[in-house]
Structure 1
Amino acid sequence: MKAEAWIFGICTAFCVLVTPAYWIVTDASEKGGDWTGTSALVMTTLLFGMVTLYLGFHATRMDPRPEDRKDGEIADGAGELGFFPPYSWWPLWCSLALTVIVLGVVMAWWLFVIGAVLGLLALQGWIFEYYRGEHAH
């Protein structure tokens, strides 16, 4: 995680340099200046700094990963990386049900009820898709 902390640290330093320069160039201190961009850059700088501190804090307390060690080999990172789900149609049905719900809020309450029922069925199918069918565990 040290490499990630360094990358975010460099981005933080860049934003620390760019934010006051942007403030000066746009004359945000004068009336009619661009306070929106300056505020966004300040918040971006703070968010980059927060991620840098988090990654740096955890990089010192955890065992180095194979990619963090200088003597690490490619084979050291071999093994199971996790479970990656195959394709799924359920997010499509959930989004279509949400579309019907939003249209129901705009147009008619009965359409909202239909969308809510369809949404519950689609959400149930998405949650339990690995308990039945082709990809059951």
Structure 2
Amino acid sequence: MKAETWIFVICTVFFVLVTPAYWFVTDGTDKGGDWTGTSALTMTALLTAMVALYLGFHAKKMDARPEDRKDGEIADGAGELGFFPPYSWWPLWCAATLGVIVSGIAAGAWWLAIIGAVLGAVALSGLVFEYYRGEHAH
């Protein structure tokens, strides 16, 4: 994870350098620069710093992966990489029910939001328990 840590450290440095530059470039009035963009860039710099710290702490605790070692070979990374789920229709139904809930709230039709929440509970249950029944059970 050392490579990922360095990517986020470089991004953090970039955003720390760009934020004051953005502030001065957008200074078109006597009041100062653009507050919205400056605060967004500041928060982005803080978020990338947070991810870099997280990855850095975990990289010290983990054994070095083949791509982190100087003598690592391509064959060292061979083998099972994990479980990757096959196709699924449940995310579509979860998104559709969320759309119904949001549309119901936006339109002020609470009955529609309640119907969407009930159908959303069914869709979310189907997504969570997908691998316990049916074709992909294990």
TM bucket (normalised to shorter chain) is: 0.7 to 0.9
Distance in 2 of aligned mates of 1:70 and 1:30: 54
Distance in 2 of aligned mates of 1:29 and 1:2: 44
Three-state SS of the structure 2 residue aligned to 1:83 is coil
Paired position in structure 2 for 1:46: 46
Paired position in structure 2 for 1:78: 78
1:119 shift after superposition: 2.3
1:59 shift after superposition: 1.9
Paired position in structure 2 for 1:30: 30
Q: Could you tell which deviates more after superposition, 23-32 or 125-134?
A: 23-32
Contact 1:97 1:118 in 2 (8 A): yes
Amino acid at match of 1:22: Y
Q: Could you tell which deviates more after superposition, 27-36 or 71-80?
A: 27-36
- Aligned residues: CA RMSD: 2.2
1:85 shift after superposition: 0.6
1:112 shift after superposition: 3.7
Contact 1:23 1:29 in 2 (8 A): no
How many residue pairs are counted as aligned between the two chains? 137
Greater C-alpha radius of gyration: 1
Unaligned runs of 5+ in 1: none
Amino acid at match of 2:17: L
Unaligned runs of 5+ in 2: none
Query: What percentage of residue pairs aligned between the two structures are identical?
Result: 77
Amino acid at match of 1:123: L
Paired position in structure 2 for 1:127: 128
TM-score (norm 1): 0.83
Paired position in structure 1 for 2:59: 59
Q: Report runs of 4+ in structure 1 exceeding 6 Å deviation.
A: none
1:113 shift after superposition: 4.0
Task: Give deviations 1:43-101, integer Å, cap 9, x for gaps.
Answer: 11122222222222222232111110011111111121111110111122222223333
TM-score (norm 2): 0.83
